[in-house]
Amino acid sequence: MLTAAIAAGLLCAQAQEPTGQEPLQDLLQQASRALADHRYDDAARGFEEALAVQPRLAAAHANLGVARYLLGDFDRASSAFRHAHEISPSMPNAELYLGLSEARAGRVESAMGPLSRGFWNASDDPWRLQSGILLAELYAARGNHDQLVRVVSALRKAFPDDSEVLYLAYRLHSDLAAEAIAGLVREAPGSARLHQVTAELLVSEGDFPRAVRQYRQALSIDAKLSGANRALAVAILNSDPDEALTAEAEEALERELRLNPRDAESLYQLGEIAWRRGQQEAALERYRSAVEMGPQFAEGRIALGKALLAVGEPEIAADHLETAVRIDPENETARYRLAQAYRQLGRIEESAEELRQFQRIRSASESLSAIYRQVQRGTARSGVPDTRSSK
C-alpha cells in the first residue's frame, strides 16, 4: 500500500498550485496536513470540499486519490487520479498512480498500459518498486513470460536486496524450470540432458549415490556433455568414496579438462583429490593452475591459501585469501583461513577481526540452515536444478 511518505511529492505540488482564494487555500492546507498525519478520511473530505469550489486543481485530485487509495477505496482513487492526469498530463507519476489504482480495483486491462509506462518511467524508487511488483504479478497471471522476465530482471537490477523482488525471482525461475523439465520429459524422455537434470535435482537433495548413477547414464549417451564429467566427479567425491571411486572421479575430471582445458573448477577438484591423498606438491600445482585459469574463482584461492599455509608460506597465502574475501565476503572458510594466515604473520588484531567475521557468518548460516534445506527441497520438487552441483 502507499504511505504518506510516498505522497510527499504530491503535497509539495499542492502547495505550489495557486488558487487565488484564501478560504480555498486554507481548505487545501488543512487537507494536506490531515494526509501527512495519516488522517485519511479527514484528508479525503477536505480535498473533496476544495474541489467542489475549484474542480480544476490537478494536485488536489491527485492528493484525493492518495487518500482514497490509502483507505482501500480503489474505485474512487482511480477516478481522482484520472482527473489529475487529464488536467495535468505532465504531473510526475500521475498515470502510474492511476495504473496502481486500476490494478487494485481488479481492472487489469485498463491497468496494464499505465502501470507499464509508469514502471519504466517512474522517477521515485518506492513507486517503481510497487508498480514493478504489481506489474509482474499481472504478467504472471496472464502467462506473459517474456514481459515477466523483463520486469523481474529490471527489478533485480534496481532493488537487488528487496525480499519481495527476490521472492518474485525465485518463483519465476522455479516456474520456468518446471516448464522446461516438463518439456524435456515430454519431448526427450531418454536424453542425456534429462538424466543430467535428474542428477542435479538429486544432488540438491543430498542424494549423491543416485546422482552418480544418473550422471553415468547421461555420459553413456553423450560422453562430451558439457560439465557432466566434472559434475559426476563432484557427486562421487561427496559420497564418501573409496579409492576405486576416487580414481573414477579423477578420470572424469581429466576427461572434462580434455574437453575444456581451462576449466578452473576441474583443476581445483583434482587438487582436492591430491590433497586428500597427502600429495601436497601435486595439490599446490593444481590449485595454482585453477587460480591462473579462474582468477575470480574464490574456492580455488581458498584452497591455494590452505596449501600455502601448510608449506609455511603465510604471506603469499594471505594475499590469495584476501582476494578470496574480496570476491566472496560472506565465505566463512575464506575468513577462517585468512585469520590463520594473519596469526602466523603476527597480525593478531586482524586475525581476531577475521575470526569475528567467521563467527558472524557461521551463526547466520546455522540459523538459516533449516529454512534453506526446506527451500532446496521445495525447489527440487519444482524442478529447479541446483547449479552448485558442479562445484
**pLDDT tens digits, residue range 192-225?**
999 999 999 999 899 999 999 999 999 999 999 9
**Domain residue spans in the chain?**
8-158, 285-386
Query: Which grid coordinates are listed for 39?
Result: 488522517
CB 61 within 8 A of CB 83: yes
- pTM here? 0.65
Degrees to nearest 5, angle at CA 146 with 145 and 151? 95
Q: Does domain 8-158 have CATH number 1.20.1090.10?
A: no
In angstroms, the CA 57 to CA 175 distance is 46
Structure confidence at residue 12 as a pLDDT band (50, 70, 90): very low
Q: What is the pLDDT of residue 31?
A: 93
The reply to whether 8-158 and 285-386 are identical in fold is yes
Statement: residue 227 has pLDDT above 70: yes
Degrees to nearest 5, angle at CA 181 with 177 and 185? 170
pLDDT digits (tens, 9 = 90+) for 232-291: 999 999 999 999 999 999 999 999 999 999 999 999 999 999 999 999 999 999 999 999
Q: Give a three-class secondary structure readout of the chain.
A: CCCCCCCHHHHHHHHHCCCCCHHHHHHHHHHHHHHHCCCHHHHHHHHHHHHHHCCCCHHHHHHHHHHHHHCCCHHHHHHHHHHHHHHCCCCCCHHHHHHHHHHHCCCHHHHHHHHHHHHHHCCCHHHHHHHHHHHHHHHHHHCCHHHHHHHHHHHHHHCCCCHHHHHHHHHHHHHHHHHHHHHHHHHCCCCHHHHHHHHHHHHHCCCHHHHHHHHHHHHHHCCCCCCHHHHHHHHHHCCCCCHHHHHHHHHHHHHHHHHCCCCHHHHHHHHHHHHHCCCHHHHHHHHHHHHHHCCCCHHHHHHHHHHHHHCCCHHHHHHHHHHHHHHCCCCHHHHHHHHHHHHHCCCHHHHHHHHHHHHHHHHHHHHHHHHHHHHHHHHHHHCCCCHHHHC
Range scoring the smallest mean pLDDT among 174-188, 274-288, 320-334: 174-188
| Cα 47 from chain centre | 41
Q: What is the pLDDT of residue 43?
A: 94
Range scoring the smallest mean pLDDT among 121-135, 139-153, 287-301, 347-361: 121-135
Q: Position of cell 482501500?
A: 72
Residues 6+ apart with CB under 8 A from 47: 28, 31, 60, 61, 63, 64, 67
Q: Which CATH class is domain 285-386?
A: mainly alpha
Q: What is the pLDDT of residue 383?
A: 38
CB 145 within 8 A of CB 174: no
Residues 6+ apart with CB under 8 A from 202: 208, 210, 211, 214
Query: Which grid coordinates are listed for 54?
Result: 475549484
Closest CA to 300 of 312, 313, 287: 287
Q: In this structure, which amino acid lies at residue 307? A: A
